[in-house]
Amino acid sequence: MQRTACPPKCPFGTTPHVVEPKCPGVVERYIDLSQFYDRAGLQPLKADILAATAEYQGHYKRAYRCLGAAGELRRDMTELLDTPEVGQRLAKRAAGIIARELKRPAQGEGRLEQRFLSAVTHQGTVTLWGTVGAQADRVYELVDQYGLAHRMLAPILTAGLAAGHDAVACPDPMAPDRLAHLVFPGLSLAFVTSTQEDPWPHRAHRRLRLDAMADPEVCRLNRPRLRFTKRVAAALLEEGVAALSQAKAAHDRLEQLYNPYVDFDSAASAADRLADQILALRDE
């Protein structure tokens, strides 16, 4: 079978890319990609394919465990330092920003979109800072090593939506229930969390040191605990990234085993036919 000149990718569904229809035949339908395999050609590679599959799945499990543990340690540090007094300081600062930046009311209630701007990848923590620059001329840089940014961003988001401004809320990839970044495209305004590992790379409209709002006495009394937490969380994050890199390498080997035995031309033709069917539905 022939392989296209395009960069080959493994065509079968691997976690988390598999989507099961909820109402097959009524709303969704199955698309059988297995017809494009050269099953006879793949049989001699069965042992290698099973080994590569088990390897990359094992690396992913380790990655999730390491990243999960790092996230729990970071949450422990945040809960230690996020005292009621700190919450009041952050709320007061947020109120000032709301009065200054969100005082132009729009019609109705704003629309909320949720998007991940940051991710932990096989290359480390990656943030699409260029996306922020493309949507906002004014960027507030929140310097935050302790995970306090969410307490400031949450009331700003609530006030912005209530004033009728559309917002893009960006969760923390290590704690998806907490905000890390916030963008109001219509106001050309953004708030980004800047850390030592992943700092905002440009000049900020305003730079707020949230670390300085932590209670100095709490920090002093818990200095050994904070040092331990930051050191171990960083080590776990590094291990998680290494495991993701190993998982990617194993998955790449799996694709290399499959690619010579996949009819990519026929798969592309089937995709074109399916696209035509979908576009026809739009015109009905």
Read off the pTM: 0.81
**Exposure string over 232-270, b if 16+ CB within 10 A, otherwise e:** ebeebbebbbbbbbbbbebbebbbebbbebbbbeebeeb
Amino acid occupying residue 122? H
At 247, give phi and psi (nearest 5°).
-65, -40
Give me the pLDDT at residue 12, please. 45
Give me the pLDDT at residue 32, please. 85
* Residue 258, CA atoms < 13 Å, CB-side half-sphere: 21
pLDDT tens figures, 252-266: 999 999 999 999 999
Quote the CA–CA distance of 189 and 135 in Å, as a whole number: 8
**Exposure string over 85-122, b if 16+ CB within 10 A, otherwise e:** ebeebbeebbeebbeebbeeeeeeebeeeeeebbebeb
pLDDT tens figures, 180-202: 999 999 999 999 999 988 999 99
The structure tokens listed for 113 are: 């979109």
At 60, give phi and psi (nearest 5°).
-65, -40
pLDDT band at 5 (very low <50, low <70, confident <90, very high): very low
At 104, give phi and psi (nearest 5°).
-90, 100
Give me the pLDDT at residue 284, please. 65
pLDDT band at 9 (very low <50, low <70, confident <90, very high): very low
CA torsion sign, 140 to 146 to 151 to 153?
Answer: positive
pLDDT tens figures, 88-121: 999 999 999 999 999 776 677 889 999 999 999 9
pLDDT band at 278 (very low <50, low <70, confident <90, very high): confident
Q: How far is CA 169 from the centre of its chain?
A: 12
Asked if omega into 224 is within 30° of 0 (cis), the reply is no
Q: Are 165 and 187 in contact (CB under 8 A)?
A: yes
How much is the mean pLDDT over the chain? 90
pLDDT (average), residues 41-55: 95
SS3 80: helix
Q: Are 118 and 182 in contact (CB under 8 A)?
A: no
Give me the pLDDT at residue 281, please. 81
Residue 4 clears pLDDT 50, i.e. is over it: no
Amino acid occupying residue 93? R
